[in-house]
Structure 1
Amino acid sequence: MEFVLVLLVLLLSSCCEFTYAECLEIRPPRLVVKHGDPASAICTPDRPQRMGWEANKGGGSLSGTELGFLPWAVNRLTDWSIKPVCYTDGGECEKTLDITVYKLPTKVSMSGLPGQMVEGRQYEFKCHVQEVAPVNSLYVSFYKASANLIKTEIGSHPPQIMNTTKEPTSGEYTLQFTPSRGDHGAQLWCSARLELGEEGPQPSPKMESEHVSLNVLYMPISVTPERSLEIKEGDNLSLRCQADGNPTPLYQWVVPQASSTPNTRAEGSVVNVTHIARSQAGNYTCIATNEVGNSTWTVDVKVTGKKDK
């Protein structure tokens, strides 16, 4: 008989624990509040009861009369770990208000960006995020915008969901970046964004670093297609080559040996041959060079019989 009574007590205790917080409802059930802003919620019992709020800010003692609801409010929320608890007379029921207190970073900045970069080399940049909370809602992204303003995310660090620190913290986030010639003139920056859920502000609050323009050095590449050219003996030949490079390339011409005569003149990217002779046929090669490298462009010049007079 005693065993049956003990079992009944355990069952009743289990039932009461299951319904411990169900007799109270808090609206809204979760608050997302910017540090220093006001906050409020309302606790409602399933039936009028004597109630109170236990909190280091905005709390109050047990009410003297039975109430159908009891508000909790603070004018300025500055406690990062506040957990207001609504409770009824005798502790029969209690429920905790879920509060997330957030703060945008004091500053977001980047380091490690040199004045100029070389195409194909790898660089490491860092995004410095100072005094942000909570860190388990922080999403750090690196962005690049091309010269035509097309924005692309090129790296990211998701929230540290296992970090339960409530107070503001600072951190560094890295990006491994290998520039291409298409990145010259683009802008690079990082962004610190707080993903605070549906109850948080929309769109998600964020702060960005200063945008930095990229100066990418790259070797010249000829933008003039190679080709063959036929010209009649005695005509004037003029060839021009063009290459894309940073810094701007310098040009040098390599001409057939017989063309190294007074009637051949090379100036920068242009070579001119006046009254060309058959002996001056062959490959005319333009070499474009800068501090990163060089490229060549060749035209096969064929000289045919003299033009008719």
Structure 2
Amino acid sequence: MKPKKIGDTKFQLAINRAQDDDEATYKVVLSNEAGSCDSEASLTVRKPAPKVEELKLLKGLNDQTLTEKQPLILSVTVAGKPASVRWYKNGQELTPTDRRCFTGDEQTGRFACEIPSAGVDDAGVYKVILSNEKGDIESEATVKVNAAKPKEESPTFLSPLEDVEVPEGDNLTLKCRVTGLPAPEIKWEKDGVPLAASERITMRSLLDGTLTLRILDCVKADMGRYAVVATNEAGSQRSDCKVDVVEPKIDHSAPKFVIPLSSASAPEGKSVTFDVKVRGYPVPELKWTRDGVPIEFDARTKLEDMSDGRWKLTINDVNSADAGQISCVASNEVGKDECSAALRIQPGRDKRKPDDEPYAPRWNVPLWDRRIPEHQTMSIECHVDAKPRADIRWTRDGEPLEAGDRVELTYTPDGKCRLVITDFTSADA
């Protein structure tokens, strides 16, 4: 630093190779015999702009395959200082979120995109672009995220099977609830022998783990030791119970024709048959009449007990004298019931309608009143005959009844109609 006079009225202070500590406020004072004057100015030393280096990729992104909830860290290392760092996934620019952050260290040249707990949706093609005045560099990698394997839990019965007694002829329902991950495979056994589904036996498994075994119309042979076995990759568990089939408790009841007489027509010389089915306890006594006169049974007129309350009246070689109102009265100590039907005799050859002629629906086996213990399975059945096949609809108190989790509706081509309601309660009556 050296002051210098460069003219009669000009003075100069020269500072060669100015440095930071030369930065200050400078003052010059001029004086003579008449007085003095001064002037001052501030000196700011500006640093030269740093030299910008071209970016070089030292370590690029790597393809990764990881499992859900593992951390995902994508990083690059570069030489040079980038002015901007942009991250992309599947072509869309990314921004920081609660789940995702970007980090960078100019000293080490490491820049990263980090996701502490990756999800399946984080899979994709990632790219980073780093830029400065000298240009851009980029790196790309593919990330795969596999779904985490669910935690395995061996089967556990939350509610096991319980011993049960069921009256013969009633329906048996066994119910339990099991849990396990993955969902266990279910097998039912009776006395150590695997059970298979059939017309009488149905097995159900609900999403909440409830398991149900239902056996319709139980017989003594259904008595035994029942078990359900639940198995998955984590283990196996079983629950069993004892089932006793006991004699049904029979209440006294008045007779009721569940299959009443149906009118019939036959040509002379042919045979005609009347079928009935009657319920009641004690077993009802039947009396048959034609136009109020008792029918006499002989070789031509026969009455057969078909068991289970079914009776068949057959008249062979019919003639005009057999025509009339056929009636059947069933009675016991509780009451009685009666049904009637007309028998028409056609003279000469058979004049019946062809078999393929349509006819209105008629009940071969109608519904009848039932008493069902609460929480048991209710099953009722009827048979309908019609040509063409009848459209069947069930109602309860006049409202349509639809199939559901507890309601099962079954129809067969021969006209059998069955309604089954599991876990029957008073609300279903």
* TM-score (normalizing by structure 2): 0.27
Structure with the larger helix share: 1
Structure with the higher strand share, 1 or 2: 2
Indicate the structure whose relative CO is greater, using CA pairs within 8 Å and at least 6 residues apart.
1
